[in-house]
Amino acid sequence: MSASKPSSKSEALYQRAKKIMPGGCSRNTILRKPYPFYADFAQGCYVTDIEGNKRIDFANNMASLIHGHSHPKIISKVTEQLHKGTAFTLATEIEILYAEHLLSRNQSFEKIRFVNSGTEAVMSCLKAARAFTGRPKIAKVEGAYHGQYDFAEVSQTSKAGNWGNENKPSSVPVAFGTPASALQEVIVIPFNDAEKAINILDQHKHDLACVLVDLLPHRVGLIPATDEFIQALRQWTTDNAALLIFDEVITLRTEYGGAQDNYSVSPDLTAMGKMIGGGFPVGAIIGRHEVMDVMDPLADNVLFPHSGTFSANPMTMTAGLAAMELFDRSAVDRLNKLSTYALEVISQSIQIADIPACVTGAGSLLRVHLKAQAPRNYRELTRNERETGQLKTLLDYLFDHGIMMINTCTFALSTAMTSKEVDVLADEMLNGLRKIRN
């Protein structure tokens, strides 16, 4: 029997894609059932697919587009650079200009190196920490996502059947075939529980190179880390000659100098990515000059040889500098005020719908949970079968009614948005929640 004729352009494309790519894609987040929709063009905070459907983009390419799509200043700068060349085996001035700008945004930023993704930025931070301390192990928060590096991804998908005792969480692999030796080098700590975390860290104090933490971990529930928790990690790493690393790949957008602006301590290293590329692939390692200098190729003894073919390419540097100059203090303030408004109106939608749900987040990042009380850590975040089904129903409803969200029901605002788009989101959220309730 011959296959049925595709019902849409998107279905036809997906049938072709499945023949040549595992799952028909190179990034799982674009998948939908029965097939993904394919983008045609985008402007500001609106995306139009090849079927002609127009949606408000609250996903912003997994929080990486701080100004939405096709910002005229970024287009102009990138077009100008495109005519000059996209990549060279020569240095470019724009790398220096952009480095100077990023360093100026926070006093803890002393030196920087560019890479090509958030995963690579985190990986380089961990390798730098090992090189600086001469120690093998790292510690990370249970459930936190830090990219695809073997060590950084440990326990980001652990479940009740394998996550172990909360006083000593197990190191659980994500990818089948992860070496047991890699798992042994990763110590897992609970989120926002300073006492339990320090007790675990103390058992490995002579082997730990660093503690890696996201100040607003998406996979843990988009709950801000408490200042008490971060202070405790800072004090422990200082007392035990280990490094404190902040993963600000996503959270840099929440404040002018990153989420760390809201805390009383500074890290030794910070990993960056997503929005600092201005719409292009990017990553960066930034931090104390003593630590960053393990990558200095001019040193007598280079502890961490570091390079990359497309690192600091002028296209990314040009787009990134334009985007971050636009994201000045007044722009950060305006966007965060819009996010505060979004929190208020969505909370009202939840109240009117009369359904167990809540909103978490900070800055321009918010997440809806189908729970009456906000989860406090990864284990409380875990959804039961009912919540999983309800979440899918809600996300499908929003998508079908013109709203693009991150697949955890998280939304990342952009400077292209106004209260108009937020009001549409709140109205459709109310309708979607009523559908679940009924």
Closest CA to 114 of 129, 95, 140: 95
Structure tokens at 220: 């843990």
Cα gap 62→167, rounded to integer Å: 32
| Neighbouring C-beta atoms of residue 438, cutoff 10 Å | 7
User: What are the residue numbers of the active site?
Assistant: 145, 247, 274
Cα gap 259→278, rounded to integer Å: 19
Q: Dihedral through CA 402, CA 255, CA 201, CA 172, nearest 10?
A: 20
Residue by residue, what is the 3-state secondary structure of 161-177? CCCEECCEECCCCCCCC
Closest CA to 379 of 161, 210, 232, 227: 161
Q: Is 359 helix (H, G, I), strand (E, B) or coil?
A: strand
Helix 227-239 crosses helix 194-202 at what angle (to 10 degrees)?
20
233 to 186, 249, 285, 292, 373: CA distances (angstroms): 16, 20, 20, 20, 26
The backbone torsions φ and ψ at residue 419, rounded to the nearest 5 degrees and listed phi first, read -65, -25
Give the bridge partners for 111, in sequence order: 287
Residues near 171 by Cβ (< 8 Å), separated by ≥ 6?
154, 155, 183, 184, 186, 187, 188
Cα 228 from chain centre: 23
Structure tokens at 251: 């959270």
Contact 74, 319 (CB under 8 A): yes
